[in-house]
Amino acid sequence: MIFAFHEPMALVDTNFARVGERVFGYNMPSQPHKSEEVYQFFDSLMPDNPGLCRALNLALLDLADAICTPSDPSCPSCPLATSCLYWKENRR
């Protein structure tokens, strides 16, 4: 919807779920893309402006791919590290 119809909403997938779980300490269900509660959570973080919303969605996907990886995340280089619960709890 965000990419085809420019509706400001979150793109929820496993990458988004991982970032949300780590940064905010949000307890994700096993299938976050099927959870209305998860969509509401991420939608509340999205800007109303479709262009900014699209950019934030893409930025979070890039962050999950390059830094907040499933195993061995690069927390020290993450731009969200100072506000990330995972980093604060697992700092080495």
Per-domain boundaries in the chain: 2-90
- Give the alpha-carbon dihedral of 90, 18, 60, 8, to 10 degrees: -140
- Residue/partner pairs of 53-56 with CB below 8 Å, 24 or more apart: 53/2, 53/8, 53/9, 54/2, 54/3, 54/6
Assigned CATH class of 2-90: mainly alpha
pTM for the predicted model, two decimal places: 0.83
* pLDDT tens for each residue of 20-68: 999 999 999 999 999 999 999 999 999 999 999 999 999 999 999 999 9
Using 50, 70 and 90 to split pLDDT, how confident is the model at 4? Answer: low
Q: How confident is the model at residue 1 (pLDDT cuts 50, 70, 90)?
A: low
